[in-house]
Structures are given as C-alpha cells and as structure tokens.
Amino acid sequence: MLREVAATRYVAPLREGGSVPGIVEADDLGTYVVKFTGSAQGLKALAAEVIVGELARALGLRFPELVLVHFDPAIAAHEPHQEVRDLHTASAGVNLGMDYLPGAKDFTPDVAKVFPVDPLEAGRIVWLDALTVNVDRTVHSSNLMVWPTFGTAPARLWLIDHGAALVFHHRWDGSDPAKPYDFRHHALGHYGPDVRAADAELAPLVTERLLREIAAEVPDAWLTGFATPDEAREAYVSHLHARVRASEAWLPTDFPTREELAAEEVLRAAKTQQGRPKWLKRVPDLHGRPAVEQDGSVHFE
C-alpha cells in the first residue's frame, strides 16, 4: 500500500500544470509534488495517477514513488494568490504526493535531439501508454523527465503525470478494450520504439492479480461512478486485463520520422496563415513553429 506522510511545510506552487500542484516537505523528511483533490481535473485524475504510476513501477519503468499526503491548508496560509489558497482549502485531508526529483529537466524537443533513448526502453514506455490510453505524452508535452542531471550517475528517463490516462473511465459504457492506439505524435515515436518486443516482455506480467493489487492502493474516496469502491476497482481490473489480451489490435507500430513530423508542422502552419487577415500574414506563428510569409516562403522562429 502507498505510504502515508503529513505535509509540514508548503514550499511553492507549480503553475506549469493545469492542476496547480504544490511542492511540500513532509514529516518523513521527504519532498513531494502534491496533486490536490480539489483541483479542476477531479478525483479520476488521481485514480489514474495511482493506477498507471504503480503499474509502471511494477513493470520496471522509472517512476517516482507515490505517497498519500495529509495536507492541512494552514501550512500554506502565506500563499499570496487567492485561487491557490481556495484550492488548498478544498483539498484539506488526504492528497497524492510524488517524490520530487531535484534538478530534473523536462524532456523537451531540444533535449530529445541529443538524449539517447534505447528502442526497447522507448517501446516499453509507448506500450504502457497504449495500454492505459495515455493521451498526454506528446512531442510538445512529454511528461518525461531527465534525472539525475549532475554528478557521475548516468541521466535516465523518468515518467511523470498520468492524470490524463485511462480515458475510458470517463465513459465506461462506451469503452472498447481493443480500441487502437493511433498516437502519431508520441514523444518517443521517432526513437524507433520496439513495441512488439515490449509487448512480448510486459503483457504476460499484467495479470489480474497484479491489477487488483494496484487498484487496491487507490483510496475509496477517489473511486467514483459505481455503487461501491470495490465495484470501481473491479471495473479497472477487468478493462485493463481485457485490453492486455487484445494488444495485437491496439499496438502502435507506424510512427512518423522527425522529417515527417516537421513536414506536418509546415502544412499546419500554412493552413493557419491562410486563414489570417492580410495584416497578420507576416506575423510568425507561436511556440517556435514554422511561419509562412506572404510570398509563400517558410521559416522557423
């Protein structure tokens, strides 16, 4: 079961995430990134964090330890922003903490250009995302960290943030366990992920027993949509186990190259520019994407 700790000091909010998690110190002397129960993403996002994160760890992927954090809003009374204080007030009690990786760097496109990733490791991560229908590990938002980034220890990829996975739990009656995972813009797609080798290695490990052990770690209060928490747990177990058995139907194998992705971005930018008024034609697109000039030429910002 997940360890329980009590938050003793609120350090700072993390505004990069839509859920506005916070960095806290706890009574076990650890530092954690806390995702709050009162966030707009809702309790299902926390259930997904636990199930996918613990499944990743069980399969040997690098994922920070999860803990249950008892949070008293009084320790964050110094927070200057009212909306964040409101979030804390709505989250008094048990929340979800993830071990903080000091000095870790985001796996951005620039880092990806120089950071080596083994095709089998890429395949394992893609396989997990396909199994859990994770729609939030893209080339623009990888939810991957490189850590450690100092000392002599080799830097490794770490998985974080799975609140957007398990999309089927938002509509249980319309979920097909064999639904294909067509995710062309996966953050690791251009590393040649060996998903078939990963399937052969990992699929036999995802047993009903393992899934039940993992589902048991989700607090009752975070399991919604069913008459009882145990019914919700069984629904997760049944769906994920059925999906494992149907891996041949959803396994992604056709990922685009870097060049193909760049070409897609050029076309997207061109279509965006065509819809602009004339006085905006020479204004570059945002976020470093290709900009199309009025004469049809393309350049990158």
Q: pLDDT by residue (tens digit) across 145-164?
A: 999 988 888 999 999 999 99
| 212 HSE (CA, 13 A, CB side) | 6
Predicted model pTM: 0.86
Q: Which of 15-29, 102-116, 122-136, 262-276 has the lowest mean pLDDT?
A: 262-276
* Model pLDDT for residues 84-108, shown as the tens digit of each residue: 999 999 999 999 999 999 999 999 9
Mean pLDDT, rounded, of the chain:
89
Structure tokens at 52: 């996918």
Domain boundaries, the chain: 3-99, 105-250, 258-300
The pLDDT of residue 175 is: 85
Residue with token string 């706890």: 26
Helix or strand run (H / E) with residue 247: helix 247-250
Question: What pLDDT is stored for residue 294 in this prediction?
Answer: 45
CA-wise closest residue to 24 among 33, 35, 15, 14: 33
